A = this chain, B = another copy of it.
Amino acid sequence: MKAIIVKPPAAGVQISNVNEKDLSNYGYLKIRTLYSGVCGTDREVVNGKLILSELPKGKDFLVLGHEAIGKVEESYEGFSEGDMVMPVNRRGCGVCKNCLVGRSDFCETGNFREAGIVGMDGFMREQWYDDPRYLVRIPKSLEDIGILAQPLADVEKSVEEIFEVQKRVPIWSCDDGTLNCRKVLIVGTGPIGVLFSLLFRTLGIKVWISNKREPNETEQILLEEARINYYNSVNDYEELSRKVGKFDVIIEATGADAGLITKILPLLERNGVVGLFGFPVSGSATIDFKSIQQIVHANKVFLGLVNGQKPHFQLAVSHLASWKTLYPKTSKNLITDTVSIDEEKEVLKILKEKRRGEIKMRISWD
């Protein structure tokens, strides 16, 4: 069957005809692939830059792909033929308590596997077999944007964890019982930044999103429709601080240089949280003793945010569904383009580099 394969740590990607028996499967429910999503992590694997990427044990290649929607081929354990499903991409270590209760986002051993990335064939192939435990139902009405449920699941988990952590503050809600008075700064306007901003807006929170340039046209639609504020950070964050004040939550969603953390720290409000989502690839965060005093004195938190599990996929499905009603124009822009697996050259191209203005690219397999 056709599959997109990589050979980490080597760079490179190819569309191959692979023998069914050379591919790993994870259960007995047969799924035919409909769509794959392409994400920055895929490109890091393809370009040989993701150090933690690992071949499945005893194999010399890895099927790429951790964002997928498929169609159930044979009814099985609560799923019916024709149902659309999305696989959860991280699979538990099988040993620790958190993995046993379906929460390998908090795996204690670190021995989880990640489809298409670490030690487990991904879903960029014509079909696979899986375990219903790891499958999330995607309603037909979400065929268009449902592929975003995977990255959005990571964002859902992050926001859930931030709110969980803020329960340490006796009253963090506003005078009207909501969180509408709280302000969030999201640094980075990639797909993750966009999903964070839509989710925080859905929850009523005031959102600022920043990048080192003016917003593009697609972003303008998002900003207007969801009433999000934009800040051009090309000259750093002082102007933002002066005009808007401090932020209750700051999300680092660039995965750029770690030095960014030093710059955004002064914008954090008392009792606030810096959520670290992006994987920085260079530099260092330097926090001087006066800033540490401020962290101590004002109950500030730094929080590493990673991976959503099945409950977060389900939340993501519900929020995507709501956005089609709440933010209809933005919803239509979320999928930048869909490329057929038959257009091999174009598929390989989008796997290697980001398309200009891209939010999310899809490969269709049908």
Contact = CB atoms under 8 A, between A and B. Distances in A.
B133 A175 contact: yes
Interface stretch (A60-68, A99-107, A214-222): A99-107
User: Interface size for chain A: under 10, 10 to 19, 20 to 34, or 35 or more residues?
Assistant: 35 or more
Contact of A97 (B101, B142, B202, B328): B101
A97 B288 contact: no
Given A98-B170, A103-B170, A289 B299 contact: no
A164 B110 CA distance: 23
A177 interface: yes
A287 B287 contact: yes
Contacts of A270: 107-108, 110
Interface stretch (A7-15, A235-243, A275-283, A337-345): A275-283
A287 B261 CA distance: 10
B178 A310 contact: yes
A49 to B, nearest CB: 13
A279 to B, nearest CB: 5
A167 B164 contact: yes
A281 B289 contact: yes
Interface of A: 97-98, 100-103, 105-108, 110, 133-134, 139, 141-142, 161, 164-165, 167-171, 173-179, 202-204, 257-258, 261, 270-271, 276-289, 292-306, 309-311, 314, 318-326, 328
24 contacts: A97-B175, A98-B171, A100-B100, A100-B175, A106-B170, A133-B175, A139-B325, A142-B325, A167-B167, A170-B177, A177-B310, A179-B311, A261-B287, A261-B292, A276-B295, A279-B297, A284-B288, A285-B286, A285-B287, A299-B306, A301-B302, A302-B303, A322-B322, A324-B324
